[in-house]
Structure 1
Amino acid sequence: MSSTKIPHKMLSLDPFSSWLGIEIIEVKIGYCKLGLRIRKEMLNSMQKAHGGITYSLADTAFGFAANTHGKFAVSIETSINHIEALQEEDYITAETKLELSKNKLGFQVVEIKRGEELVALFKGVVYRTSKEWEVD
């Protein structure tokens, strides 16, 4: 059974995403928009946000959206294009922009933005298992 409650449950069970400070902004079936603020401990040696921070936010949005269909969906392939560098205190969002389901596979494109500026583009494929989410 599909549910917009699943991402909230997933976040509550995810210490890494919680450490990142990920906030759920909006959830619909097959759609998710998340945000986070870049902190000092997220910077690399060039004093820019580590690429893994942007990737992690996008990957979480991707996973949350894919799981709203009610089945455990696991990532089988992802990629990201970094377009702009990010600074400490930047607030970024990751929003699923395309969702396509084919049998047990799901395809997503996630846009990562700083305000209205596109800073990264993420693409991912999930495999939907037969295991159902249990939501209170």
Structure 2
Amino acid sequence: MHDAASALNPQALAEAAGAAMYARDTASQSLGMKLIEIRPGYARMTMPVRADMLNGHLTCHGGFIFALADSAFAFACNSHNLNTVGAGCTIDYLAPGRQDDLLTAEAVEQALAGKTGIYDVTVKNQDGRLIATFRGKSHRVSGEVAPVQR
């Protein structure tokens, strides 16, 4: 997949992990999410708000906003190419998402110690309006996301 030199490069590992995860992530794909950028400890994803994502107030259902933030969190915490899962998270909704908005979630690693990480995610619309903030706690499990040669 990658040569030995690039396999040890943190950015190459992040890109390999992101590509492997996205290829298998039919949930994020089915919601129209795209992985725009990935670096070690960081991921940025977008999701268009479709008509079938609206709730009874004709705004984006919070579950879809959560799903976008959670996906960005997942990609950021797996960007070190070590299998990592969510252990807990919280979200605060600050403004509504509207039909045809393009939401962007940006996940940033705040701390990583042992098997535990903390990640903050902001979700904004195309105008830069803050829609939600999310904090996730990760737990590393065994294995690698993408096979690499060493």
TM superposition score category, shorter chain reference: over 0.9
> Normalised by the size of structure 2, how large is the TM-score?
0.85
Q: Which residue is equivalent to 1:119?
A: 131
Structure 2 unpaired stretches of 5+: 1-7
Q: Which residue is equivalent to 2:5?
A: none
Q: 1:38 aligns with which of 42, 46, 49?
A: 49
Q: Which residue is equivalent to 1:86?
A: 97
What SS does structure 1 have at the residue aligned with 2:95?
coil
CA contact (8 A) 1:84 1:120 kept: yes
Letter of the aligned partner of 2:59 in structure 1? K
Structure 1 unpaired stretches of 5+: none
CA contact (8 A) 1:96 1:109 kept: yes
Aligned equivalents of 2:46, 2:120: Cα separation in 1: 16
Aligned equivalents of 1:119, 1:55: Cα separation in 2: 11
> Normalised by the size of structure 1, how large is the TM-score?
0.94
Q: Percent identity?
A: 31
Q: 2:74 aligns with which of 57, 63, 69?
A: 63
Divergent runs of 4+, >2 A = 133-136
The structure with more helix, counted as a fraction of residues: 2
Is residue 2:104 matched to residue 1:104? no
Aligned equivalents of 2:128, 2:121: Cα separation in 1: 14
Aligned equivalents of 2:26, 2:145: Cα separation in 1: 19
Post-superposition shift, 1:133? Answer: 2.2
Aligned equivalents of 2:112, 2:138: Cα separation in 1: 9
Aligned equivalents of 1:134, 1:121: Cα separation in 2: 29
Post-superposition shift, 1:116? Answer: 1.5
Letter of the aligned partner of 1:113 in structure 2? K
Aligned equivalents of 1:98, 1:64: Cα separation in 2: 11
CA RMSD of superposed structures (Å):
1.4
What SS does structure 2 have at the residue aligned with 1:17?
helix
How does 1:66-77 map onto structure 2 within 5 Å? 66-77=77-88
Q: Which residue is equivalent to 1:52?
A: 63
Which whole-Å deviations, capped at 9, do the CAs of 1:52-107 have from their partners, x for residues lacking one? 11100000000001001121101010110000011110111000134310111010
Equivalent pairs, count = 136
What SS does structure 2 have at the residue aligned with 1:62?
helix
CA contact (8 A) 1:20 1:36 kept: yes
